Structure 1
Amino acid sequence: MAPSWSLSALKNQRQLCKNVCSPLFLRSLTEGSDAGWFRSMFPHKVEARKDAHSNLLSKKETSNLYKIQFHNVKPECLEAYNSLSVEVQTKLHCDKDYPCEVVGSWNTWYGEQDQAVHLWRYSGGYPALTECLNKLKLNKEYLEFRKERSKMLLSRRNQLLLEFSFWNEPTPRPGPNIYELRTYRLQPGTMIEWGNHWARAIKYRQENNEAVGGFFTQIGELYVVHHLWAYTDLQSRQETRNAAWLKEGWDASVHYTVPLIQSMESRIMYPMKNSPLQ
C-alpha cells in the first residue's frame, strides 16, 4: 500500500528542500569549518588566465633553465658509464665558456635500476642552452664521449624544466645524503591549481632542510612536476614525512592536490662522486 502523507508533512518536506538548496545554506557549507568535505565533492574552478602558467609560476628574479636527463644503462656498463660521465661533466661544469653547470648527478637505488639521472642548469635560459649545444657540436672530445657513451645505453630521454618560484634554489650541499625524486604527472590544465596549493604546502616541509628543488616541464612530457628532496637515510625520510602529517594544514594540502594527479613515481637515488649535491 502506498504511504499516506498529511498536508502538513508535505509542506514540511517542501520547506526542507528549499532550505537545503538555498544559497545561504550552500554558502555556509563552503565557508564554514566543515567546508573541506563539501567542497571536495565538486570540481575546483580555476579562473581563466591571460598569461602562460610558466610566467605565473616560475622565478622572476632568474632566467635559469634546467634540463633533466634519464639514462638507462646496460647493467654491465654502469661502472664504466659513471667514470666516463664524471670525467666529462666535471670539465664542462668548470669551463666558464659554457653557460651551464651540473646541479646534481645520481644513480637510482630504488626505482628503475641501472639508471643515471642528471640535472643541469643553464644560466640565461634558452639562449644559454642554444649556445652550449652549438659549442658542443664543435667539441671533439665531447663528441667522442657521446659516441662511447652510446655503446653503454639502453635508452635515454630528457626534459626542459623551469623552477617553481616558491621552492628553494638548488644549491650544493655536503653529504652523505640520499635523494628522492618524486615525479607527478598532472591532469592537463591543473598546473596553476597545483602551484597555488604547493605555495602554501612547501612551508610544512622546509624545517629539516629536506626541500632541494621543485620544477615543472616546459619541453618533453608536459604537465609533469619533479620534487627533489634530501635525507640522511631512509629512516630519516620516514620520520620527516610522518612529522609533516602532524602539522595543521598539511593534510588539507594533500587532500586538494591528489585529485590533480594522473600518476606519480618515487625514485630513491644516491649521488655520483662529482655531484655538487652530495
Structure 2
Amino acid sequence: MLSRIASNAVRRSGPTTTSMHGAQRTISVQSLLYGSPEAKEASDVEVQQHSKLVARGKYVHGFEIHKVKPDQVEEYKKAAEKYYTGLRDDPELDVKLTGNWEAIVGEQDTFYHVLEYENYAGFDKAWKKLQNSEHTRAFQALRPCLTSRTSQLTQEFAFLPTAPPHEEGGIFELRTYQLVPGKLLEWEQTWRRGIEARRKFVEPVGAWFSQVGRLHQVHHLWQYRDLHARKEMREQAWQVDGWADTVGKTARLAKYMDSIVLTPLPFSPLK
C-alpha cells in the first residue's frame, strides 16, 4: 500500500522551488498587497489572489472531521472503514484517500479523514455520483455514532506537496493555525524560508490551506516515531538559523493554534 501511495506522490510531485522571475513577482505582489492601509483590509478577492500564488492548483483535499459518541467508537470505526474504503475502491469516483486518523491527544473521540480530488471538477463529479448511491447508504451506518461532523476543502502549498512518510509506524501531528485574514501570502513566504530548518530533522507529510468551509486556516501534518522523538526533533530545530524567526513570525500571523496527535486507522494509506 505504501509503495502505491509513493508512486502517486511521484506522479503528483513537481518543482517545489520558485524561479527568480517567480520570486520577484511574489515579492512584488506581497509589497503591493501589504503596502497600503487599504490593502491590509483583505477582502475575499485578495484571498483568492493569494491562493493563486501559493497553491499547486491541481488537487483539492477534503478534510472531514467526525466527533463520535464515546460509547460507539468501535462501531464507528467499522462503519468508517466500510465507507471510506468503498470510496477509494470505486473507479467511477476517482477519489483517493490521503489518510484516516483518530485523535489521541486533543479533542477525544474525534476522527480525521483526508480525501484527494482532481481539483474542484473532481469534487463536483464525486459529489454527484455519491447522491443516492451505495456509498450514501453506507454512510448512514455512521450517522447514529456521530455527535457532529464538519468538512473543509483545502489546497496544497506549492512548496510542500503531500508525500508519504519515509517509514511506517509512529504518530502523526496535525497542526492547525487560524490566520489573521489577509495574511496567507506572508505565512507562505515565512514557511517557505523556515521549513528547511525543520527538514534537517523531520520531513513534513503535507501542508494545506483552506478554501471552502472554515477560512483562513492552515494545516501541517508531521510524522514522528513517538512523542519523545517529536520533542527532541523540535528542540534540535531551534538550534538551526532561521527557525526561531519562522516561529516568531508565525505567532504574529495566527489568531490561535491547535496541535492534535493522531494515530492512523488500520485502513489508512498513511501509517
Same-fold call, TM cutoff 0.5: yes
Task: Please identify the structure whose Cα radius of gyration is greater.
Answer: 1
Match of 2:121 among 120, 127, 149: 127
1:227 and 2:215 matched: no
What is the letter of the counterpart of residue 145 of structure 2?
A: M
Please show how residues 205-220 of structure 1 align to structure 2 within 5 Å.
Answer: 205-220=198-213
Structure 1 equivalent of residue 63 of structure 2: 68
Pair 1:134–1:51, CA change in 2 (3 A): closer
C-alpha RMSD over aligned residues: 1.7
**Which deviates the most, 179-188 or 85-94?**
85-94
> How many angstroms apart in 1 are the aligned matches of 2:259 and 2:201?
20
Task: Please give the TM-score of this superposition, normalised by the length of structure 1.
Answer: 0.79
> How many angstroms apart in 2 are the aligned matches of 1:92 and 1:245?
41
What is the letter of the counterpart of residue 54 of structure 1?
A: S
Equivalent residue of 2:249, what SS?
Answer: helix
Match of 2:170 among 168, 171, 177: 177
Match of 1:100 among 95, 98, 106: 95
Q: Which has a greater percent of helix?
A: 2
1:160 and 2:153 matched: yes
What is the letter of the counterpart of residue 261 of structure 2?
A: I
What is the letter of the counterpart of residue 120 of structure 2?
A: Y
Structure 2 equivalent of residue 58 of structure 1: 55
Equivalent residue of 2:140, what SS?
Answer: helix
TM-superposed CA distance for 1:168, in Å, is: 3.6
How many residues get paired? Answer: 230
Match of 1:258 among 251, 255, 259: 251
> How many angstroms apart in 1 are the aligned matches of 2:247 and 2:201?
19
> How many angstroms apart in 1 are the aligned matches of 2:142 and 2:179?
33
Task: Please give the TM-score of this superposition, normalised by the length of structure 2.
Answer: 0.81
Equivalent residue of 1:59, what SS?
Answer: strand
Q: Could you list the runs of 5+ residues in structure 1 that have no partner in the other structure? A: 1-44
Please list the CA deviations of residues 222-244 of structure 1 after superposition, one character each: whole Å capped at 9, or x if unmatched.
Answer: 11000111001001100111110
Cα contact 1:103–1:170 (8 A) shared by 2: no
Equivalent residue of 1:103, what SS?
Answer: strand
Structure 2 equivalent of residue 146 of structure 1: 139
TM-superposed CA distance for 1:50, in Å, is: 10
TM-superposed CA distance for 1:99, in Å, is: 1.7
> How many angstroms apart in 2 are the aligned matches of 1:211 and 1:162?
16
Aligned sequence identity (%): 35
> How many angstroms apart in 2 are the aligned matches of 1:172 and 1:193?
27
Pair 1:128–1:249, CA change in 2 (3 A): same
> How many angstroms apart in 1 are the aligned matches of 2:83 and 2:167?
22
Cα contact 1:111–1:267 (8 A) shared by 2: yes
Cα contact 1:173–1:276 (8 A) shared by 2: no
Match of 2:76 among 81, 86, 93: 81
What is the letter of the counterpart of residue 146 of structure 1?
A: F
Match of 1:241 among 234, 238, 243: 234
Q: Could you list the runs of 5+ residues in structure 2 that have no partner in the other structure? A: 1-32, 40-45
TM-superposed CA distance for 1:116, in Å, is: 0.5
1:46 and 2:34 matched: yes
Equivalent residue of 1:146, what SS?
Answer: helix
TM-superposed CA distance for 1:143, in Å, is: 2.0
Please list the CA deviations of residues 9-36 of structure 1 after superposition, one character each: whole Å capped at 9, or x if unmatched.
Answer: xxxxxxxxxxxxxxxxxxxxxxxxxxxx
